[in-house]
Structure 1
């Protein structure tokens, strides 16, 4: 299966994470034949500092690994809301099926083996009850999501998972924006952008008390996917929610969390991809990678947790890592 991949790269942490993503993609998915696009925000009024990837070892490694660094302009977001890069960065993709990954992701198996129905967009279900946060006396989930879908021409009833009770958050279409896919980046960009701008600039009264930073992208994504005829992964066939959040990729966000929580095959795949000297000499220049990939902190963090009995709340995992001097970001 041929499709293109978009990640975002810019100065700082995302530059290093892009290198790790590219290294794991090339090592663990050698038969994937699409284009790896690293979307790079251009400097301009919305970026007080130049956000581009600096010249040097990291940029060279990306191109050596076959990544194409493609600039894009921020028309609506920028430094005030960096998560908007995943919306505006879609403009630098060529036509054809695509998949977006957050840069803090590793690829752990062969992507070309996947049977993905790109005509039915979907996104990651690796999420928590983060947005919205209904107040005691309302409006509740039905009113909030109903108003948002209605304002974009959608129907709440078409998005509900009726296996969950009324007013319980998992009943409603909600994604983590760590990965999403579609068959046309232009139409996806338009739907995602317009939903985000509606929520930010012309919200229905039902959400005026809701916090949108950093949740704007995750509030807008279900509206865009519903508008484009998509839904939850695994509905109506296609890949299930476990494929791109476990067997074939892993959204780690912070390396200590990966070592604490990821299945064994993820750690094995990452260690194999980062072992070659040409990869190691670049990645170890970033302190979290140096400490966890090439020094004992990763092993120590892993030994502290039973992956079959992890704490229910991520904050508890973070707190234990911090108490033991194993938190770095």
Structure 2
């Protein structure tokens, strides 16, 4: 099965993460037959500066087999950088695709995963970050149903009835760290139109809700459901499992991810062709090349991690290991 992979790279941390993603794909899945695209926002009125990656980084990405895909930000830009993943879909060639957040490490053969690209899905590696229910405000049912009604969707069929009515996991909610579909045009145009609708004219049930930075994760389940998709089945367990690691930050990778993910990171980072560039990333320099990551990892029992990510973050910050 051939499919493309899309990630977003831009000036700063994301360009280094993109290099790490491309290098880990080449190492962990040498049989991958699709194309890795790194979408790059271009300068324009929605960016106060130049969001493009350094020429050195782009050349290295191309040496690693990636193709740079320029796109113009017409809806979000600097005001909502998460919107890059929505707008970049418009320039992706029409073929089955897997979107990955740039802070993802490839740890196994993604090409061996039995995707059904006609049934889109997305990452369940999430917490109940949205909506935040106010004491006298609309509950989960009212809030989510208002969104399904806005776009003429069947709300009831999206529910996981194994959970109580006013519990967040009853409702379709994803992390936008990965998602896939057969058509970037169909998926992307709906993702963009519905995100703008929610942003510009939210239903009254959302009056107490923060839309940023959650807008992509608010809209994503609606798009997935509308295109005949839903929660990922066991056949996709390698995503956020043996094939990919959405690490978020290098300190979090060391704190909570598998020994295998740490080993892949350190092996890729030792590659002499990418090491000089990666050393310009302060977090990589400190956590990998100066061995602070191993010291941070020793603070945690990976078999008994805190349930909430914020507890891990606070520990890393307190001990001086919070770097991005």
TM-score normalised per structure 1: 0.96
Written as runs of structure 1 = structure 2, the 5 A alignment for 1:177-192 is 177-192=176-191
Give the distance between the partners of 2:122 and 2:213, measured in 1 at CA: 18
Say whether residues 1:320 and 2:315 are aligned partners.
yes
Per-residue CA distance 1:144-177 (angstroms, 9 max, x = gap): 1111011111011010001111110000000000
Per the TM alignment, residue 205 of structure 1 is displaced from its structure 2 partner at its CA by: 0.9
Alpha-carbon deviation of 1:69?
0.6
Name the structure 1 match of 2:61. 62
Cα distance in 2 for partners of 1:261, 1:116 equals 27
1:268 aligns with 2:263: yes
User: Match of 2:113?
Assistant: 114
Alignment RMSD (CA, Å): 1.1
Paired with 2:8 and 2:267, the residues of 1 have a C-alpha distance of 24
Given the alignment of the two structures, is residue 198 of structure 1 paired with residue 193 of structure 2, yes or no? no
Correspondence for 1:278: 273
Residue equivalent to 2:48: 48
Q: How does 1:89-108 map to 2 (within 5 A)?
A: 89-108=88-107
| 1:7 equivalent in structure 2 | 7
Q: What does 1:123-202 correspond to in 2, within 5 Å?
A: 123-202=122-201
- Please say if residues 39 and 69 of structure 1, whose CA atoms lie closer than 8 Å, have aligned partners that are also in contact: yes
Task: Quote the residue 2:284 is aligned against.
Answer: 289
Secondary structure at the aligned position of 1:85 is classed as helix
TM-score for both structures, normalised by structure 2: 0.98
CA distance, structure 2, for counterparts of residue 261 and residue 143 of structure 1: 35
1:272, distance to aligned residue in structure 2 (A): 2.0
Aligned match of 1:219: 218
- Tell me, what secondary structure is at the counterpart of 2:5? strand
| Superposed displacement of residue 273, structure 1 | 2.0
Q: Deviations over 1:291-312 (max 9, x none)?
A: 1122210110111111110011
Q: 2:238 aligns with which of 243, 246, 254?
A: 243
* Cα separation, 2, equivalents of 1:85 and 1:179: 14
2:296 matched residue in structure 1: 301
Give the secondary-structure state (helix, strand or coil) at the position aligned to 1:14.
helix
- Work out whether residues 93 and 185 of structure 1, in 8 Å CA contact, stay in contact via their aligned partners in 2: yes
What is the CA–CA distance in structure 2 between the aligned matches of 1:215 and 1:171, rounded to whole Å?
18
Paired residue total: 324
Question: Is the CA contact 1:246–1:263 (under 8 Å) kept in the aligned structure 2?
Answer: no
Deviation at 1:116, TM superposition (A): 0.5
Distance across 1 between alignment mates of 2:207 and 2:160: 25
Return the alpha-carbon distance in structure 2 between the equivalents of residues 297 and 27 of structure 1.
Answer: 24
Gaps of 5+ in 2: none
The DSSP-based 3-state class of the residue aligned with 2:240 is helix
- CA deviations on 1:194-223 (whole Å, 9 max, x unpaired) are 220111112211112210110111001011
For 2:225 and 2:194, the matched residues in 1 are separated by 11
Structure 1 portions without partners, runs of 5+: none
Counterpart CA distance in 1 for 2:136 and 2:317 is: 37
Maintained 8 Å contact 2:90/2:189: no
Range with greater deviation from structure 2 (74-83 or 130-139): 130-139
2:137–2:208 Cα contact (<8 Å) kept: no
Equivalent-residue separation in structure 1 for 2:264 and 2:291 (angstroms): 17
Shift of 1:18: 0.6
Residue 138 of structure 1: CA displacement?
A: 2.8
Is the 1:118–1:182 Cα contact (8 Å) retained in structure 2?
yes
